[in-house]
A and B are shown apart, each in its own frame.
Chain A
């Protein structure tokens, strides 16, 4: 076919429609990531950095107990928070998306879920301090009720407080997509299953859960991406005791250790890539959304 044919021309034209987006992504996504990878191999001295390529920062990361420990802490907290957001979020989504018959009520409930977002992220995190502290709301109430004699100290400035904080902040990202998928299930399907003699448990595991799985995957991706990159909640609620990969990047950047910050950045990016790809293998989202 000659290059001047209408169909080739159209293809060239539609190709150009992508140009602004491609340009934008290259400039602000691909290039910075390449830069981070590149900088992670630079030579870092105490007060300066130069572009001589070296593996020193990578070796430092994997030989330091603190850094590798942060990697494991990040993975552990991510799994715990992911599990908790799912365990707490799924029943809530089930209620909002499926059990509530009226569309108006379910919309109102979903709006209620996002009300915490009307205030800033930092406020939401810091609000946990007066809740969980030694003289915080929870301890006072439990003491007044006579359930405990002395305040529970592990509530604040511990891994537990970070988990509580993150779960509360991110659970809504699990509820939303699941409730959306559940809301799309044809109620007749559930009645049909019931008519065929399936009990509630069977209907849930054989019909409702499989049909909501795409929502679970999307929710899990949202939560994972946000939790893995977290640094603010752990910084504010752990009293610096819990160090996540995100916290290390913040401190390294703060002390101008660009090479080490880049190493952690690359590791975090790879980790996120694996997690997202893993979730997408569970469900083919192309067919679902």
Chain B
């Protein structure tokens, strides 16, 4: 199946709840046979978007196309789109096996019992639930419930599966394992996953394509690398939780911020002037050290050990918190004294500057 072929397309989708606009004129083209992750903070409209695509809710305006067909007016079960609920929504009184077989047994298609049983058994094996077929949802773990929810959807052979924060209900350890597993299961089938999440790490780790949603609008979409390295706006940079953002003033090829005035060669269009530099590009220096770029004096507050890296927190004179991410493969971290002042600096080529004025 050709990649990059569109599987579903949203055209100017708007959905309002009273005065609140949950989805604001969204247009989005989703590539087929990929893992698409939709990143947005809570309240950004990501669940609404998913429910509109699934058919649980109707958009006020706009059309939805799925596999070349306009499905805007089709009810949920006729769309051929699977939905995995955040809390799994398993049928509590049915066994794992019957949960998985439910769609075939009770759906509109006529399927023989023998086929139902063999397809359900295939699904049990696909998601690795052998031996648990006769348990009820109360007797299995969170990760296993997640698999049942997925298998129950996949058995209907959808071309698109919507996952509403599927890992949100799992503990951190399990989340990592399920991330890999979701990707593997998807790759074995000809199916597109649209995964909604509030976690930037999850969205970057899992998506072939990442779309960032904010206040009912998709503000950027692209590969994880594109999103991560070149956020298109300060909002995206903020969600990624990997950038120190400084307000300031952009004027004729220089940016005036708390770190002084720096020359700027390239500017991303944005109504507000913001200077962004990634945590792992920001470095701390002692007074008197040679600096690679601008100098920002800051007090050391605390640090957090993350295993492969250490995040150090600094505070500038105007009480803004700045984070420095030191990857341990680059050598041992320096010891900083709490309360002492250091100079933060970075290579200005790594900074991203947003502003209303286009640099020459």
Contacts and interface: CB of A to CB of B under 8 A. Distances in A.
A198 B107 contact: yes
Given A202-B106, A206-B106, A211-B92, A195 B87 contact: no
B102 A194 contact: no
Interface in A175-210: 186, 188-189, 191-199, 202-203, 206-207, 210
B205 to A, nearest CB: 26
B301 to A, nearest CB: 42
Contacts of B349: none
B23 to A, nearest CB: 19
Interface in A202-239: 202-203, 206-207, 210-211
A196 B103 contact: yes
Interface SS of B by simple majority: loop
Given A195-B77, A195-B82, A199-B108, A186 B102 contact: no
Contacts of B85: 188, 191-192
Interface string B87-104: 101111100000000110
B76 A193 contact: no
Interface SS of A by simple majority: helix
Nearest to B92: A211
Q: Which of A188, A197, A211 has the most CB of B within 10 A?
A: A197
Contacts of A188: 85, 87, 89
Interface in B63-83: 75-77, 81-83
B56 interface: yes
B15 interface: no
Contact of A196 (B55, B93, B156): B156
A192 B54 CA distance: 11
Contact of B93 (A195, A199, A210): A210
Nearest to A211: B93
Contact of B109 (A193, A197, A211): A197
A197 B89 contact: no
A216 B109 CA distance: 32
Nearest to A198: B106
B147 interface: no
B77 A189 contact: no
Contacts of B81: 195
A228 to B, nearest CB: 30
Contacts of A194: 75-77
Q: Which of B82, B85, B102, B106 has the most CB of A within 10 A?
A: B106
Contacts of A203: 106
A15 to B, nearest CB: 32
Contacts of B109: 197
Nearest to A287: B138
Contacts of A196: 77, 102-103, 106-107, 152-153, 156
B56 A191 contact: yes
A195 B102 contact: no
Nearest to B158: A195
A191 B90 CA distance: 11
Contacts of A189: 89-92
Nearest to B164: A188
A200 to B, nearest CB: 11
Contacts of A206: 91, 102, 106
B89 A191 contact: yes
A206 B94 CA distance: 9
A197 B83 contact: no
B54 A195 contact: yes
Nearest to B84: A192
Contacts of A211: 92-93
A211 B91 CA distance: 9
Nearest to A188: B89
Given A191-B56, A202-B106, A197 B156 contact: yes
Contacts of B93: 210-211
A207 B87 CA distance: 17
Contacts of A186: 87, 89
Interface of B: 54-56, 75-77, 81-83, 85, 87, 89-93, 102-103, 106-109, 152-153, 156
Interface of A: 186, 188-189, 191-199, 202-203, 206-207, 210-211
11 contacts: A188-B85, A189-B89, A189-B91, A193-B91, A193-B106, A196-B102, A196-B153, A197-B103, A198-B106, A203-B106, A207-B91
Given A186-B87, A195-B81, A198-B103, 8 more contacts: A186-B89, A191-B83, A193-B106, A195-B153, A196-B103, A196-B156, A198-B102, A202-B106
Query: 10 tightest CB-CB pairs across the interface, nearest first?
Result: A197-B107, A196-B103, A188-B89, A198-B106, A197-B77, A202-B106, A192-B89, A188-B85, A189-B89, A195-B76
